[in-house]
Structure 1
Amino acid sequence: MIVVGHLFSFQKAYFGFNRFMDLNHPDLPYWLALNNREAIGPQSFIKAFDHFGSAKAVFGASKDDLIQCGLRPSVVSALERPVDLKQGEEELSFYQKKNIQILSFKDKAYPPLLKQIHSFPPLLFVWGNLSALSSDDCLGVVGSRAVTEYGVVACRRLVRECVEGGFSIVSGFAKGIDIEAHKTTLELGGITVAVLGSGFGFLYPPEHSVYVEKILEKGAFVSEFPFKAFPHPSFFPRRNRIISGLSRGVLVVEANEKSGAMITARYATEQNRDVFAVPGPLDSLRSRGCHRLIQQGAKLVMEGRDILDEWHYPLRSLAQDASLAQSRPHGLSRNLGDEKQKMKLSLVESNTDESKVVQACRERSQNIDEIIGATGLSSEKLTVLLTQLELGGRLRLMPGGRFLAV
């Protein structure tokens, strides 16, 4: 890992040479030069590096040696061009000023889930908390840029419930569902990772720069592209494989049948990740992709608990819920009024009747008679409480008229 920080000449970098190197190691600019060659994709990069042993040796190889390595003619031609190391020096200077870390695929700190995927990035540029990339509790959240009101409400509700369940959220920093997922995570004090479809010199879209500082407090920005790489349409599908690659599963909130979110879902399937999809109105084109995913076997999600159950996550304690809820700012969209009510219901004191009912149904589902026996409440009062708690999202009605705490 290369940590480009204020103490530039004293930082260390590990590139799989079985030792740590100074940032001024002569091979470092060649790594960046190799990453900057447009014709050289991740697989060619890794194949060439593994064959020749260093990035500098790749550029020093003869045409015949490059061909024998099994590289495509276009890649061979790209590697025969002279190397401009000044560009690498400029790039390093930029990362130093921003305190951006450079992580190679040979580094022990490289995200283990990401390294499992086909065509993983040989270099990652990370701005922020590196440990946020290596969590087993990351959920990718993607969807339409032209999001509907329904999509916003669904995204906020599901992300809130998943963050409260202990997950970090990975998304693409784009308009629509992506930024709603990031914002909701930040409002709860959670960890979110933003994967860019550009280099760090062109943070896109620029209007989202107001969220940068907050994301960096606990989370991170990630890019595989050189710092001067402008956001190009072809970069976003490449970005999407990183979103799913860093995640244990991917939640698709709204998507038409031909969209980037569907590309991410396809990558997730290829990477053996779980795919979750939110159903929408039957006549909504923006939900056609989600409906298609459900037909193909994605898990239908109506609440965050559906994902928690799939991954066998335990419920948080009331104290944990209260701590998260108290950090949540006021003044969210009026469309989320029902979500606020759920939060209020989750903060009941331990000696209230509502809390007694929830506690009685926490370990396993209970019928009305069993709840009466556990709480001592009258059937009339219990009927009212059950209705309130179910509407508030604290209880779920199960088959057979039984209730389970959510």
Structure 2
Amino acid sequence: METPDGNLDAWLVLLRAPALGTAALRTLVTQHGSAGNALATLRGGGAVGLADETRAWLDAPDEARLAADREWLADETHHLIGWDDPDYPSLLREIGGAPAALFVAGDASLLWLPQVAVVGSRAASEHGLAIARRFTRALAGAGFAITSGMADGIDGSAHAATLDVGGSTIAVLGTGPDLVYPRKHRALAARIAAGGALVSEFPPGTTARPEHFPQRNRIISGLSLGTLVIEAGLASGSLITARCASEQGREVFAVPGSVNNPLARGCHQLIRDGARLVESAAEIIEELGPHAAAAGTRLRARLALLPELEPTSMRADPQGRDGDYAALLAALESEPVALDVLAERTGLGVAALSSMLLVLELEGEVLAARGGLYARHPG
């Protein structure tokens, strides 16, 4: 759990406090330096204007509910990352309305990787699903994590295609981190938790509500350098994600379609509004490459600050040629090889390998090829 010692219970109390609000909670934690200090101030009467129900909860929270939250967090693959935590993803911290905290099931370090959001229609056509698979495999092969909302259609296809090529994927949920919606994606959610990350701003046990899904869209775009929309009607929730991305100053990409396809109309509207028309993943990779390099720099700086918390393979300077990097470079050949092959040769996990390969690619040591393949740079 990433929350500092002594701060966990405070976060759980504050996050479940009725009528407190995300913005107010961020402000309190910023002003007082930690959730623990903020809670102590509120309980000591240091804040005015609190609703009666808020004050009643803060003074006497439901201990059974908090115990259930602590039980969920007792799993070593479950995490709570608060606003006062240095592990809070830097790109998400930049947006207006950022969540006060994130519950994560899986590899929380993936939130610091350069990400591309891939979203689209829940009722996507077979052609749209094929486009989603083609784009996400290429983007994952170039070192980007793929972020989406685990909905039917384009979202689910993007997550699955990324996992199929050994890439990193992040699903932002409209429920608590322990619940799956839609239920048909239970197997997919288990795959993502094992090889990626499930993320939610909602505490465990929070059920699906209509208002949660537009709300989570700002996190999908906020974690990502750019958002790609593949098939979306004019009333699609994907357009909300695209609008969030635009308001956050992030890139928006849209795949055009037939004028006879109603699922293309949302993409065409985005293009008219200034989104970049793209026909291949290479165009996105070219556009976001410089931003990805900056994200890689932030990642390296962050990992360097916490040597005691990060595995060696995630923090070492490749120029230092530590054991894991040396093993990876020795496993690479002039001909591209797949990530799972590298995992077999080195004994390293896929998540660690993905991060190491990204760093080596940014350093000019590795070339990413189509289909999630990697090779030594000929130079």
Matched length: 298
Map of 1:43 onto structure 2: 23
Q: Quick one: distance in 2 between partners of 1:152 and 1:145?
A: 10
**Which residue of the other structure, out of 116, 129, 137, is the alignment partner of 1:160?**
137
Q: Quick one: distance in 1 between partners of 2:222 and 2:87?
A: 15
Give the fraction of aligned pairs with identical amino acids, expressed as a percent.
38
Map of 1:90 onto structure 2: 68
Higher relative contact order (CA 8 A, sep 6+): 2
Q: Quick one: distance in 2 between partners of 1:156 and 1:179?
A: 10
Map of 1:66 onto structure 2: 48
Change (3 A) 1:188 1:44: same
Kindly state the Cα deviation for residue 55 of structure 1 after the two structures are TM-superposed.
3.6
Map of 1:57 onto structure 2: 40
Q: Quick one: distance in 2 between partners of 1:317 and 1:97?
A: 38
Map of 2:204 onto structure 1: 227
Contact 2:180/2:189 (CA < 8 Å) preserved in 1? no
The yes-or-no answer on 1:120 pairing with 2:98 is yes
Structural RMSD (CA): 2.6
Which amino acid letter does the alignment assign opposite residue 169 of structure 2? Answer: T
Cα deviations by residue, 1:103-137 (Å, 9 ceiling, x for unpaired):
111111110101011111111111111111001x2
Contact 2:171/2:198 (CA < 8 Å) preserved in 1? yes
Contact 2:19/2:51 (CA < 8 Å) preserved in 1? no
Q: Quick one: distance in 1 between partners of 2:187 and 2:275?
A: 34
Q: Secondary structure at the match of 1:236?
A: helix
Query: Whose Rg is larger?
Result: 1
Which amino acid letter does the alignment assign opposite residue 119 of structure 1? Answer: G
Q: Quick one: distance in 2 between partners of 1:215 and 1:65?
A: 41
Kindly state the Cα deviation for residue 158 of structure 1 after the two structures are TM-superposed.
1.1
Alignment map for 1:167-178 (pairs within 5 Å): 167-178=144-155
The yes-or-no answer on 1:301 pairing with 2:278 is yes
- TM-score, normalised to structure 2, is 0.73
Kindly state the Cα deviation for residue 65 of structure 1 after the two structures are TM-superposed.
3.4
Structure 2: give runs of 5+ residues left out of the alignment. Answer: 293-331, 343-369, 372-379
Which amino acid letter does the alignment assign opposite residue 197 of structure 2? Answer: A
Contact 1:159/1:184 (CA < 8 Å) preserved in 2? yes
Map of 1:245 onto structure 2: 222
Which amino acid letter does the alignment assign opposite residue 187 of structure 2? Answer: V
Q: Secondary structure at the match of 2:286?
A: helix
Change (3 A) 1:325 1:97: closer
Q: Secondary structure at the match of 1:66?
A: coil
Which amino acid letter does the alignment assign opposite residue 219 of structure 1? Answer: G
Change (3 A) 1:326 1:288: farther
Contact 2:29/2:84 (CA < 8 Å) preserved in 1? no
The yes-or-no answer on 1:28 pairing with 2:28 is no
The yes-or-no answer on 1:103 pairing with 2:81 is yes
Contact 2:29/2:83 (CA < 8 Å) preserved in 1? no
Q: Quick one: distance in 1 between partners of 2:333 and 2:20?
A: 50
Q: Quick one: distance in 2 between partners of 1:80 and 1:46?
A: 17
Q: Quick one: distance in 1 between partners of 2:227 and 2:160?
A: 18
Cα deviations by residue, 1:254-303 (Å, 9 ceiling, x for unpaired):
11122210000011011111000010111222111110110111111111
Q: Quick one: distance in 1 between partners of 2:144 and 2:121?
A: 22
Q: Secondary structure at the match of 1:34?
A: helix
Kindly state the Cα deviation for residue 323 of structure 1 after the two structures are TM-superposed.
2.3
Map of 1:323 onto structure 2: 338
Kindly state the Cα deviation for residue 37 of structure 1 after the two structures are TM-superposed.
2.9
Change (3 A) 1:123 1:156: same
The yes-or-no answer on 1:79 pairing with 2:24 is no
Which amino acid letter does the alignment assign opposite residue 98 of structure 2? Answer: F
Change (3 A) 1:159 1:274: same
The yes-or-no answer on 1:130 pairing with 2:108 is yes
Q: Secondary structure at the match of 2:67?
A: helix
Kindly state the Cα deviation for residue 236 of structure 1 after the two structures are TM-superposed.
0.7
Map of 2:188 onto structure 1: 211
- TM-score, normalised to structure 1, is 0.68
Deviates more, 1:246-255 or 1:210-219: 210-219
Map of 1:200 onto structure 2: 177
Contact 2:163/2:195 (CA < 8 Å) preserved in 1? no
Q: Quick one: distance in 1 between partners of 2:31 and 2:25?
A: 10
Q: Quick one: distance in 1 between partners of 2:204 and 2:189?
A: 17
Contact 1:173/1:195 (CA < 8 Å) preserved in 2? yes
The yes-or-no answer on 1:279 pairing with 2:262 is no
Kindly state the Cα deviation for residue 56 of structure 1 after the two structures are TM-superposed.
2.1
Which amino acid letter does the alignment assign opposite residue 284 of structure 1? Answer: N
Q: Quick one: distance in 2 between partners of 1:269 and 1:214?
A: 30
Kindly state the Cα deviation for residue 58 of structure 1 after the two structures are TM-superposed.
4.8
Alignment map for 1:178-197 (pairs within 5 Å): 178-197=155-174
Structure 1: give runs of 5+ residues left out of the alignment. Answer: 4-12, 15-20, 68-74, 328-391, 394-406
Map of 1:372 onto structure 2: none
Q: Quick one: distance in 2 between partners of 1:267 and 1:182?
A: 21
